[in-house]
A and B are shown apart, each in its own frame.
Chain A
Amino acid sequence: MSTVVLLLITGLGLGALYFLIASGLSLIYGLMGVLNFAHGSFLTLGAFAGFELARRLDGASWGTFFLTVILGALVGAAVAALTELLLIRRLYNRHIEQVLVTVGLALASVALFEGIWGTDPIYVSAPEWFSQTTEILGARIPNDRFILIAAAVIVLLGIVFFLRYTRFGLVIRAGVENRSMVTALGIDVRKAFTVVFAIGGAAAGLGGVLASHYFGYVSPHLGGSLLIFAFIVTVIGGLGSLAGAAIASVIVAVLQQFANFYLGGTGDLVVVLLLAGVLLVRPSGLLGRKA
């Protein structure tokens, strides 16, 4: 029983991490039709920004931790907004070029990060509480999982609130449904594009700082390795659906944890099989619109 609880909550923590990346991917694809392969770089940069701040301050204090989370989100948002303004904006409706540019940016940024921070993992310091455990139903759960789950829930509620109750949110929801109609109404959707990129980048940057605590280190490949699963989550959940991304994040991560433990480390394989199954049975994903 305690093993099941441990796997379940660890899976939820990993799912939370996937969601922080997938939410941005899904919104960006939903509104603009852009598959952003550079999204992992926003995460990695957020993680390094957090690390740089933490090593200048007291890395073991809660105050520093919250500052690194905020900095990670801000750096992620700024870099994502710049990426949209400088690169993606020129390439709307040119999907091949978009993929090439974002893949190129992902490769170049990893090389840049390796140049600055080296190729070895850098271990991060965290408040004492993170490395302790809390006992739930006999399972000793590492505390950082709870931080991840709480952060993902806050981000999910924040994005839902933003989409439902703000003017930009209304433009974005309408744009996801029919972008050209929004333009025909005389509304400049390009502003909404930048805002969506910034939100996605903020969630990824925040996820980067939290990922560095989940794994215990930062490396230039942190974002890239998570991005693959975030893409799988986005496709299973349905491209463009935030709720789908949230549900699929949990399903994929929990399944991965259980398969790793009970089926001899086959977690990644099971996830890819799940992806194949969903694509065969329901190509638009769990909550996606029909293509």
Chain B
Amino acid sequence: MTDRPVLTVEHLGLSIGGARIIDDVSLSVAEGEMLGVIGPNGAGKTTLFNLISGLMVPTEGRVELEGVDVTSHSIPRRARAGLGRTFQTSSLFGGLTALENARLAAQSKLGGALSVVRFPRSRDAATEIAQQRLAEVGLADYADTDAGVLSHGDKRKLEIAMLLAQEPRVILLDEPMAGVSSGDVAGLVEVIRTVHKSGRTVLMVEHHMDVVLGLVDRVAVMHHGSVLACDTPDKVMADATVQSAYLGESL
């Protein structure tokens, strides 16, 4: 981990009809760091995520990716600039195999080389990337299984493999545990841990606090649209403001 920020959010704000949904949020994620964003329902976690990923446009502030202002960039443009994200709704192609899904994502990274006569099953760059990423999330044995019949947890793993195949500079995970059965949570947590340990930069929004605190380097606590505290899990848990404003209230 270095101190060089990959993703920076500066004084981000969103007002809708006079109501402040997001209020002066500043965060930065350093190279190789994993930052978690937690908070009760309605705290503005998902809105913040949407502002960073480009689904919504902020009314104030800016989002920078490696020093470049991407605040007004479209989602595909942010994706090309290296901002990779998962979707809360499943973004898989159910009728394609796991390998084909990952391959498609790898193809998007390889871009211009969309040749008509190249064969995906032969050993080309995209297939190799796809196979590596499937192995990384523990789905190597399911390469030829249709994505539609995978378990919910495995679908999430495949989405992460697809994200990795696009080789983003920073990975945005939107509630990765949502809808995953309790039996699958541990496996998915391990996959996310592996992804982070391999040196990738991750920003994760997640409702399950125990999951977040065990995974991240730093955690930002959101409440009423602003960030109460942003520090290591230990320090945040010891923070009096956090305890009274969020933990005391919701637990």
Contact = CB atoms under 8 A, between A and B. Distances in A.
B125 to A, nearest CB: 11
A166 interface: yes
Contact of B120 (A166, A182, A188): A166
26 contacts: A165-B119, A165-B120, A165-B121, A166-B117, A166-B118, A167-B107, A168-B114, A170-B96, A170-B107, A171-B104, A171-B107, A173-B96, A174-B101, A177-B95, A181-B93, A183-B76, A184-B76, A185-B104, A185-B162, A186-B109, A186-B111, A187-B104, A187-B114, A188-B114, A191-B114, A195-B116
B107 A187 contact: yes
A184 B114 contact: no
B108 A177 contact: no
Interface string B96-114: 1000110111011101001
A185 B166 contact: yes
Nearest to B76: A186
A171 B101 CA distance: 10
Contact of A187 (B101, B108, B115): B108
B120 A186 contact: no
B91 interface: yes
A160 to B, nearest CB: 14
A178 interface: yes
B79 interface: yes
B126 interface: yes
Given A166-B120, A186-B76, A186-B166, A171 B114 contact: yes
B107 A177 contact: no
A200 B206 CA distance: 46
Q: How large is the interface on A (under 10, 10 to 19, 20 to 34, 35 or more residues)?
A: 20 to 34
Contacts of A182: 104
Interface of A: 165-171, 173-174, 177-178, 181-188, 191, 195
Contacts of A169: 120
A-B pairs, top 8 by smallest CB distance, nearest first, are A186-B108, A185-B108, A187-B108, A186-B79, A174-B93, A177-B93, A165-B119, A167-B118
Contacts of A195: 116
Given A167-B107, A174-B104, A177-B93, A184 B75 contact: yes
B50 to A, nearest CB: 14
Given A173-B93, A186-B108, A191-B114, 20 more contacts: A165-B120, A165-B121, A166-B117, A168-B114, A169-B120, A170-B100, A171-B104, A173-B96, A174-B93, A177-B94, A177-B96, A178-B93, A185-B104, A185-B108, A186-B76, A186-B111, A186-B166, A187-B107, A187-B108, A187-B114
A267 B200 CA distance: 65
Nearest to B112: A188
B196 interface: no
